């Protein structure tokens, strides 16, 4: 088992990430749940079918269970109301804890509901997808989608602990595993060229459990090293992790209304290709590095285009992205593999995005 300790400026918010295989049965030993008055397990209907009985046995204490539907479409205020209602009906108090068992949607919603219920109760993340293990389950960003905009309602709220067990990945469809590779590749692009080179050309099904543990560990180390310096994106340092997410969030949101909704990693993969092309067109990134990034994403099995979504709609979403400031679109763009700069402005956003979209 590996252990990473996230050290934030506020010591009371520092917390451990446990990474390994077959850790779930020892959750009470790793994460002290005995001091809580009640435990609520939040999960989705897909994960529940595989793992709910095992976690409720491990947690004990007559855990309260809340099950939501699986998928990005459930990341809305109605689902939040459902979770809040369950908390109230179950009489959770301020000494209760929420255990989020699921992917990014469950971790985001559970962290948000825990942070807003009774002005904040503790929560623990147990991410069950590759994407949530390397990204969404770590870092403290929580929230929901509102008015058609991705993650525009939310809070920074750090868990008490994260328990990452690669055994969960054995029950995932291959598409979900491949989706997680987008964030793995992104971590290499933003901070570590050697890491990028070590994972390109490979798919998750090619990795052993030991290799998956090392990948999750390395991605978490990269993300936490950045996050520790800038927990709430106030200094600009954490913004490099937004690479691929300006276009990616727009595409992901729009795809939910189509007959081919994209997974988060799929949308981010497309976003990284288009934003790398933008960097190339703007003279920030060499053509060979753009092509290397594009090939890495394609060879991982991720899509690199979205022909079913009109570029005009994508641009419209980009113009209301939550990361914009004073009406300006601020990009996090690669200048080389292993290096990304944030707060970059592009002249003629509409024109440049259209060119990048149509020529990637």
Which residues are annotated as catalytic? 119, 141, 183, 223, 233, 238, 242, 245, 249, 264
Least Cα distance to 161 among 117, 195, 124 occurs for: 124
Rounded to the nearest 10°, the torsion over CA 214, 217, 223, 225 is -110
User: What single string gives the DSSP state of each residue in 117-158?
Assistant: GGG--EEEEEE-SHHIIIIITSS-EEEEEETTEEEEEEEE--
| Distance from C-alpha of 218 to C-alpha of 205, rounded to nearest angstrom | 18
Q: Are 100 and 112 in contact (CB under 8 A)?
A: no
| 324 beta partners | none
| Distance from C-alpha of 266 to C-alpha of 248, rounded to nearest angstrom | 8
Q: Are 203 and 318 in contact (CB under 8 A)?
A: no
3-state helix, strand, coil in the chain (%, to 5): 50, 20, 30
* 89, burial (CB in 10 Å: exposed 0-12, middle 13-18, buried 19+): exposed
DSSP-derived 3-state class of residue 6: strand
| 42 beta partners | 66, 100
């Amino acid at each position: 088992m590996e252990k990473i300790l996230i050290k934030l400026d506020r010591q009371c918010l520092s917390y451990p990430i446990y990474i390994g295989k077959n850790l779930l049965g020892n959750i009470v030993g790793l994460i002290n749940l005995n001091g809580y008055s009640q435990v609520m397990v939040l999960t989705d209907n897909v994960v529940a079918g595989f793992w709910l009985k095992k976690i409720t046995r491990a947690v004990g204490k007559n855990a309260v269970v809340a099950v939501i539907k699986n998928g990005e479409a459930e990341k809305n205020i109605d689902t939040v109301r459902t979770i809040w209602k369950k908390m109230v009906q179950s009489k959770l108090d301020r000494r209760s804890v929420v255990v989020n068992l699921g992917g990014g949607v469950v971790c985001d919603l559970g962290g948000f509901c825990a942070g807003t219920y009774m002005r904040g109760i503790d929560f623990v993340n147990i991410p069950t997808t590759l994407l949530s293990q390397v990204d969404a389950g770590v870092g403290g960003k929580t929230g929901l989608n509102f008015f058609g905009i991705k993650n525009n309602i939310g809070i920074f709220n750090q868990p008490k602990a994260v328990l990452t067990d690669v055994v969960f990945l054995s029950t995932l469809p291959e598409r979900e595993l491949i989706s997680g590779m987008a964030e793995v590749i992104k971590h290499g692009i933003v901070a570590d060229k050697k890491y990028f080179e070590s994972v390109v050309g490979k798919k998750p099904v090619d990795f052993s459990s030991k290799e998956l543990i090392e990948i999750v560990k390395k991605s978490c180390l990269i993300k936490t090293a950045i996050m520790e310096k800038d927990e709430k994106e106030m200094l600009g340092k954490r913004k490099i992790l937004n690479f691929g997410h300006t276009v990616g969030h727009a595409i992901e949101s729009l795809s939910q209304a189509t007959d081919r909704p994209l997974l988060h990693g799929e949308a981010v993969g497309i976003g990284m290709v288009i934003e790398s092309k933008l960097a190339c067109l703007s003279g920030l990134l060499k053509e060979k590095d753009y092509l290397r990034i594009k090939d890495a994403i394609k060879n991982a099995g991720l899509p690199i285009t979205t022909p079913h979504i009109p570029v005009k709609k994508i641009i419209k979403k980009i113009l209301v992205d939550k990361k914009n400031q004073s009406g300006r679109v601020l990009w996090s763009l690669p200048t080389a593999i292993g290096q990304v700069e944030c707060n970059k402005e592009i002249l003629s956003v509409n024109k440049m995005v259209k060119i990048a979209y149509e020529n990637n």
